[in-house]
Amino acid sequence: MALMGLDIKWGRNINRFILCGKQRYSGTLLNNPCIVISYRKMHIESIERKTAVLARPTLKCLSQVATINPTIGCSHQCAYCYARGYSIYPGDGKVLVYENMAEKLKKELPRRRKLPKYVFFSSSSDALQPIPQVINLSYELMQTLLEYNIGINLLTKGRIPIKFLDLFKRHKKLVHIQIGITTLNRNIQRIIEPYAATPGERIRNIEQLCNVGIVPEVKLDPLIPGITDTKTNLTALFRVLQKYEVNAMGINYLFLRPFIKKNLYKSLRKTSLWEEINAHYQNGSSINLLAEKSRVQALDVHYRKNSYHAIDELAGLYKISAYVCGCKNPDITEEPLCDINWGKHFQDTPKQKGLFASQILTEKIF
């Protein structure tokens, strides 16, 4: 039986440990032997949601999309995560769970004059963090929405539990899943996404979704130059995705802010990866993300443009089409393409014809 979280009592204190991985462990800490990759102390705190459950993010691609974040903070602790720089971020090793969110949603929906066509999980956390309170809350939220005939768009780097697969199977036409994955290399993944699901577990997600009749998209975001955007890395990934007939993916490169750079350095400083990343951004661009006030450090626009096209061509060999969102590439395209591509699953929204909008690309680049 897979262990997702464990309360361990020491005197009057209760420390929560997140268990993830595949190393056999037996000792006084646990009553029975189990399979563990790693464990770490996590502080899980229940809080009340004061404002409406369905929120609207500032990013242009999500500005017309209702979103739900079941938590503040995230146990995955990805080195590149932009949400770790938010003022409300509770700090590493701490997750705040909205204990009243499910009941609040059940009261909120009947009062709404117009229900959303679909809801996005999640813009600044992951609905499938390996924490029982989060898993149970996310399930109840999704179940409620589906009962109201409201679609679910889930982006996750976590493991999808069986009960979610059963729920999704009953509501196939209302469910759109995106699996965040950029590499099959466990050594790279454990450095940049230390507590997220392993690449193998994410491929297993794809397999299980296909088994219940749902072919997910994948999200290669963020790609890290020289590390996860190499032909060798992507070819290995695309071959596996083709096996499960995955035919669509979103791609975006990593952008840097001071706190992201700090977290990456902290995670990568003992490896050669940091020098590889830093070298690529030395001649990069300073851009404003759409709907964001602060500027970010991005890769050179020509590097991104050429790489996106090369990745699209490589993916095409495996019958996978790619799209890039203007929110993270405003100097290439201004179209909020995430909304366009997600929306087509729930309503009659025109599908993007190619990797970029050619007219905007011409105006911006040449």
For the stretch 133-148, pLDDT in tens is 999 999 999 999 999 9
Structure tokens at 34: 């189990």
Instruction: Provide φ and ψ at 114, rounded to 5°.
Output: -140, 125
Mean pLDDT value of segment 221-230: 95
Q: What is the pTM of this model?
A: 0.83
Domain 6-365 falls in which CATH fold? TIM Barrel (3.20.20)
Which tens digit of pLDDT belongs to each residue from 328-342? 888 887 665 555 455
User: In whole angstroms, what is the distance from residue 358 CA to residue 98 CA?
Assistant: 43
CB 277 within 8 A of CB 268: yes
CB 54 within 8 A of CB 69: no
User: In whole angstroms, what is the distance from residue 180 CA to residue 193 CA?
Assistant: 11
Structure tokens at 13: 């204190």
Q: Which of 108-122, 187-201, 273-287 has the lowest mean pLDDT?
A: 273-287
pLDDT at 163 over 80: yes
Domain boundaries, the chain: 6-365
The answer for 343, left when phi > 0, alpha when psi is -120 to 50, beta otherwise, is alpha
Inter-residue long-range contacts of 82-91, CB under 8 Å, 24+ positions, other chains counted: 82/124, 82/257, 82/260, 83/124, 83/125, 84/259, 84/260, 84/263, 85/257, 85/259, 85/260, 86/124, 90/45
